[in-house]
Amino acid sequence: MADDHACDAEVIPEGFDKLKLRVCSDCLPKILGRARTLIEVPLSLLRADAAYSILGETAAGFLLGIYAVEGECPAIREVAETYRRRVIIEEFYQLYSWLGGILRDARVSPLYIPAVRAWRIGGHVSSIISRQLHGSTREELEETYHEAAVSLGLLRDGKVNVRAVRTQGRAESESYRRGLEAAWSVYRKTLGQFLGPIVSDEQTHMLVENPGLLVELPEGSFTLEKHTPETLSSQITGDGTLCRPPSPLSSSLACRGEDGRAVVKIYGRLAVKWLPAAIASPREARYLVTPRARMANEYYWLRRLRKAVATPRIHALAVNPSRMMLRDYIPGVPAFDSEEKRHWETAGRTLAFLHKHGVALGDPNPGNFIVDEENPDYSAIVDAEQARPYAPVAGAWDLVVFTVYPLLFGKDRSLVESAVEAYRLEDPELYRRHTEILSQGIGWGGVKLLGPVYLQAKRILLG
């Protein structure tokens, strides 16, 4: 460690001709002059702020920034590296907390890290950093963060190493929490008040307003802008958009505007309904519950299923203030809403077709099968948040849900029977395999507690 006294220095942040910051080894934080032209920061306090954000990053963010630090003082450069390392890990971990497994298929520009940090902190820090993002050091900044992220094992060939992000992010969060418990509240109140008003919000540049644009997804875009379902869907539907749930239990909203229709799925809406469903599902087909897991799973399977059946194209993912997915509206007739036998038969054939192609839906509610009147052989799938690779018990559970759900809501039994019969005719061997599992008492999960509905489903499936 270099001698602290060798680090006494004055720094003039870029773009601020009058303001000076002095890093000193043996001093108390203070501000001199009514114009707030000189601020002193003890090196020990700067270290603590860089490592644990005990000042809310007021000192570290303003003095060190999250860009390349110039100067001859080894101790300050060491503190800057500590701060940058924490910023990179925290922001990748936060991105994972928003997107989950979707991050495995994303490409993240190194510029995302300083941009999103500026966006999240705001105020004076974002103003200084955005100058760097728009200035001559942009390429150097990108290279600096790329090298740092690679050295930490978080980036590989532009792709995110999700396992490393999870591991290091959890550890860093725990360290950060311990640091906050030891925060020096008096410094937080004083130094933060000194630095906060120096830079006006008008000096913040546009790039940091939506850092999500620096995250490239295989389909659709990622946005950190604040959205309602109406503002998000207006990207497709235009002005005057109204969004309504098609049913009380639906987490998807049908949106209509001047330019067309779209669907916005809100993964936090009615999320509690998945708790009893998860308990009721058999262990081999256990349901996903958290909004992050369900959104990531659906993002993956909607794209994969498209190789076999029609699924809605994804246009955008939003996470502020809640997780939402904007996607195409697929016209047609939901089998559940139809009273026509042929629509239910189409849904049954489609389910068997997916099982043959190695996919179990997990939640094959007949309302998720949209039948095209002009091409009634197979239907589109508009819900895949519980989809998974096919396994015999998962396929048997699909048949159970496919049968029980409409019976539970009072649909005509003959329609359900026609759908199950269409499944059997599509693949008799697959149907026999599933009914053998069910006849052994396996794959029913908590449906056995539904009494008369369970008995009806058992008679339909097992005869």
* pLDDT tens digits for range 339-384: 999 999 999 999 999 999 999 999 999 999 999 888 777 899 999 9
Which is more confidently placed, 103 or 18?
Answer: 103
pLDDT level of residue 303 (50, 70, 90 thresholds):
very high
Choice among 146-160, 172-186, 348-362, 376-390 with the minimum mean pLDDT: 172-186
What is the rounded distance in angstroms from the CA atom of residue 415 to the CA atom of residue 346? 11
Instruction: Provide CATH code, domain 221-328.
Output: 3.30.200.20
Residues listed for the chain: 463
pLDDT at 270 over 60: yes
What is the rounded distance in angstroms from the CA atom of residue 279 to the CA atom of residue 289? 10
pLDDT at 61 over 60: yes
User: Measured at the alpha carbon of residue 461, what is the angle toward residues 457 and 463, in degrees to the nearest 5?
Assistant: 105
What is the rounded distance in angstroms from the CA atom of residue 255 to the CA atom of residue 243? 4
Which is more confidently placed, 106 or 1?
Answer: 106
- Counting other chains too, the contacts that 414-419 makes at CB distance below 8 Å and 24 or more residues apart are 414/341, 415/339, 415/341, 415/344, 416/344, 416/460, 417/460, 418/341, 418/344, 418/345, 418/348, 419/335, 419/344, 419/345, 419/347, 419/348, 419/366
pLDDT at 140 over 60: yes
Q: Is the dihedral of CA 442, 446, 448, 454 positive or negative?
A: negative
pLDDT at 76 over 80: no
What is the per-residue pLDDT for 120? 74
What is the per-residue pLDDT for 201? 42
What is the per-residue pLDDT for 207? 52
Q: Dihedral of the CA atoms 297, 301, 302, 304 (nearest 10)?
A: 150
Choice among 95-104, 191-200, 428-437 with the minimum mean pLDDT: 191-200
Which is more confidently placed, 198 or 341?
Answer: 341
pLDDT at 426 over 90: yes
Q: Tell me the range of 117-121, 434-438, 444-448 where mean pLDDT is highest.
A: 434-438
pLDDT at 269 over 60: yes
Choice among 31-45, 229-243, 382-396 with the minimum mean pLDDT: 31-45
Taking residues 33-55, what's their average pLDDT? Answer: 72
Instruction: Provide CATH code, domain 333-462.
Output: 1.10.510
pLDDT at 30 over 70: no
What is the rounded distance in angstroms from the CA atom of residue 20 to the CA atom of residue 30? 12
What is the per-residue pLDDT for 192? 52
What is the per-residue pLDDT for 108? 95
Return the domain boundaries, the chain. 4-182, 221-328, 333-462
Q: What is the pLDDT of residues 337-349, one digit of tens each?
A: 999 999 999 999 9
